[in-house]
A = this chain, B = another copy of it.
Amino acid sequence: MIYLTRRETFNAAHRLFKPEYNDEKNFEIFGKCSNPNWHGHNYVLYITVKGIPDAETGMVVNLKKLSQIIQQYVIEKVDHKNLNTEVNFMQGRMASTEIIAMAIWEQLEQPILESGAQLYKIRLEETENNSVEYFGK
A residues sitting closer than 8 Å to B (CB atoms) are 1-9, 11-14, 16, 18, 29-33, 35, 37-42, 48, 53, 56-60, 63-64, 79-82, 85-86, 93-99, 101-102, 127-135, 137
Contact = CB atoms under 8 A, between A and B. Distances in A.
A85 to B, nearest CB: 6
Quick one: copies of this chain in the complex? Answer: 6
Contact of A96 (B42, B53, B80): B53
B1 A13 contact: no
A120 to B, nearest CB: 10
27 contacts: A1-B137, A2-B102, A4-B130, A5-B132, A9-B127, A11-B40, A13-B38, A13-B39, A14-B40, A31-B64, A32-B80, A35-B80, A37-B81, A38-B40, A39-B40, A39-B80, A39-B82, A42-B42, A42-B127, A42-B128, A48-B133, A53-B94, A53-B98, A53-B102, A58-B98, A59-B94, A60-B132
A40 B40 contact: yes
Closest 5 CB pairs of A and B: A40-B40, A58-B94, A58-B96, A37-B82, A32-B80
Contacts of A56: 18
Given A40-B39, A42-B127, A85-B37, A59 B96 contact: yes
A19 to B, nearest CB: 13
